Amino acid sequence: MAARKTTKKPNVSAEELTEYYREMLLIRRFEEKAGQLYGMGLIGGFCHLYIGQEAVVVGLEAAAEEGDKRITSYRDHGHMLACGMDPGGVMAELTGRVGGLSKGKGGSMHMFSKEKHFYGGHGIVGAQVPLGAGLAFADKYKGNGRVTFTYFGDGAANQGQVYETFNMAALWDLPVVFVIENNQYAMGTAQARSTSTKDIYHRGEAFGIPGEIVNGMDVLAVKAAGEKAVAHCRAGKGPYILEIKTYRYRGHSMSDPAKYRTREEVQKVREQSDPIEHVRELLLTGKHATEDDLKAIDKEIKEIVNQAAEFSKESPEPSVEELWTDIYA
């Protein structure tokens, strides 16, 4: 992962930069609150936090247009918030309440939004990769110019289905951006222990799919890479791979004490490469915002997250009859 000092001057407006700050902060504070509610026993089951990786989704959403699609793994709260899904609806799903986006019956890993073109939320490692190509196939068939962002992890990148998908996506020139969120760990396994090469971006070469490495701690670098990838797809040139080097600060899930790495390792990333601090510095040093402006944003975000948490506690649990709705049988 590149250190923060490598960042170039912002090539976006002060308003856009402020918006990225706001969006990344929303994800971070939301996830911190989810962690607290989990600790209080209000959230149960699987819960994978996205803290540290915020610049990935915020940068790519900045490169997306209305109607583009997204699909990801179980580490999905950040993706939902970044594409505009309601924080209260996401939090209430985490607490298993009727106000949740899946009426409290899906939980952390299973939320969807037709309106925001968000296709989940998938607990099976790598399962979303062929599904993402399928979404892109539908768009290609309809000729609507839409692109699908298919996110997966460094661990998932070692799965066979990923390469079957690469082949078909390249064969049919599907408009799909394969986003490898390389946070350097797959559960407790460091990338160096599971993956034969340091980088993964070139794994599409055998299929003729271009790829590149992106600094995932720099939202502007992510946005720029996203725009390039999206332009490639929209021009009908087929898929594109972005290997985004990032880092998760918390354990794999809420039940992971993260004993496979040192506190110092995490601390070093926080101090040297934190994606939110990076934008904060750009805003302040560029005189695009004052400390007071940023404090006001912090307050605003805190209120949104507190309201989401309140809603997630007040919304009732689903009734027993709900067991018989939204099922295939």
Ligand X SMILES: Cc1ncc(C[n+]2csc(CCOP(=O)(O)OP(=O)(O)O)c2C)c(N)n1
Per CB under 5 A, residues contacting Mg ion are 153-154, 183, 186
Q: Is 156 in the site for ligand X (CB under 6 A)?
A: yes
Residue 52 as a binder of ligand X (CB under 6 A): the answer is no
User: Residue from 3, 124, 138, 192 that binds ligand X (CB under 6 A)?
Assistant: 124
Phi-psi region of 184 (alpha: psi -120 to 50; beta: other; left: phi over 0): left
The residue within the footprint of ligand X, chosen from 23, 154, 218, 243 (CB under 6 A), is 154
Strands 148-153 and 69-71: parallel
**Contact at 8 Å (CB) between 113 and 53?**
no
| Longest pairwise C-alpha distance within the chain | 59
- Whichever of 31 and 154 has its CB closer to ligand X, that residue is 154
Per-residue DSSP letters for 122-154?
Answer: --STTTHHHHHHHHHHHHHHHT----EEEEEET
Comparing every residue's Cβ against ligand X, the nearest one is 153
Residues ≥6 apart with Cβ < 8 Å to 181? 53, 56, 75, 151, 152, 153, 154, 216, 244, 246
The nearest distance, CB 195 to ligand X, in angstroms, is 10
- Cα–Cα–Cα angle for 254, 29, 24, rounded to 5 degrees: 110
Pinpoint the alpha helices (H) of the chain.
Answer: 14-39, 54-63, 77-82, 87-94, 128-142, 160-171, 191-194, 219-234, 263-273, 275-285, 291-314
* Per-residue contact string for residues 14-43; x = within reach of ligand X by CB under 6 A: ------------------------------
Q: Which residue is nearest to Mg ion (CB)?
A: 153
Which window, 84-92, 147-155, 162-170, 293-301, contacts ligand X (CB under 6 A)?
147-155
Q: Does residue number 185 form part of the binding site for ligand X (CB under 6 A)?
A: yes
The structure tokens listed for 226 are 């996203």
Nearest distance from residue 181's CB to Mg ion, in Å? Answer: 7
| Closer residue to ligand X in complex, CB, 20/185 | 185
In 3D space, the residue among 6, 10, 63, 59 whose CA is nearest the CA of residue 289 turns out to be 10
In the complex, least distance from residue 157 CB atom to ligand X, rounded to whole angstroms: 7
By CB under 6 A, the residues from 232 to 271 that bind ligand X are 252
The yes or no reply on residue 188 touching ligand X (CB under 6 A) is no
The single-letter DSSP state of residue 5 is G
Which residue from 75, 110, 250, 288 is in contact with ligand X, where contact means CB under 6 A?
A: 75
Q: Which is nearer to ligand X, 125 or 169 (CB)?
A: 125
Q: Which does 125 bind (CB under 5 to 8 A by kind): Mg ion, ligand X, none?
A: ligand X
Distances (CA, A) of 240 to 98, 110, 249: 39, 26, 28
Closer CB to ligand X, residue 99 or residue 275? 275
Choose the contact partner of 156 out of ligand X, Mg ion, none; CB within 5 to 8 A by kind.
ligand X
Q: Is 89 helix (H, G, I), strand (E, B) or coil?
A: helix
In order, the DSSP letters of 203-219 are: GGGGGT--EEEEETT-H
Question: Among Mg ion, ligand X, none, what does residue 75 contact (CB within 5–8 Å per kind)?
Answer: ligand X
Binding mask 213-232 for ligand X (x = CB under 6 A): --------------------
Which residues bind to ligand X, rule: CB under 6 A?
73, 75, 123-125, 153-156, 183, 185-187, 252
